[in-house]
Amino acid sequence: MFAGGFFALQPLLSRDPLFLARVPWRLPVRILMDTYLALIFVIRGYTHMYLPRAPVDVDENIVVYGICVVGGVALVTTTTILGGAVEDSRVVMACACFLAVLIAGLLAYWAWLVRKYGDN
């Protein structure tokens, strides 16, 4: 949680007023990380409300793998990229592409859950 707090407060604590504007890919990385975490909780809530036939293991896997393992690695990576003095746009773009792939994987997993456990 410390990494998440540092990640959220970095633009406020930075002495650089153009922190997000110096490297144009910093803002998409920040937005994609927030989107990933929000999408995890949306999928979890949708599973609870609209997929009652889904086993409990689905929710446990979403929490353990989606939030703790993959979300933790993505959060530490994003915090390192945004918190450090990374001025190379290619590194920040690679982090943004990594997060975009994670979001696409979550959407595919959600579609699979709805097909498998949804009412037909």
Per-residue tens of pLDDT for the chain, all 120 residues: 444 555 556 655 666 667 667 778 888 888 899 899 999 999 999 999 999 999 999 999 999 999 999 988 998 888 888 877 677 889 889 999 999 999 999 999 999 999 999 886
Tell me if 81 sits within 8 A of 29, measured CB to CB: yes
In the structure encoding, which two tokens stand for residue 4, read together? 């998440």
**pLDDT value at residue 6:** 54
- Other Cβ atoms within 10 Å of 6 Cβ, number: 13
- The CA distances from residue 19 to 25, 28, 64, in Å, are 11, 13, 33
Is 80 among the domain residues? yes
CA atoms of 40 and 106, how far apart (whole Å)? 8
Is 15 among the domain residues? no
Residue 9 phi/psi, 5-degree rounding, is -95, -5
**pLDDT value at residue 86:** 77
Is 79 among the domain residues? yes
Is 19 among the domain residues? no
**pLDDT value at residue 96:** 93
Quote the number of domains for the chain.
1
**What is the reported pTM?**
0.83
**pLDDT value at residue 101:** 96
Domain that holds residue 99: 2-9+24-117
CA atoms of 42 and 116, how far apart (whole Å)? 18
CA atoms of 96 and 6, how far apart (whole Å)? 19
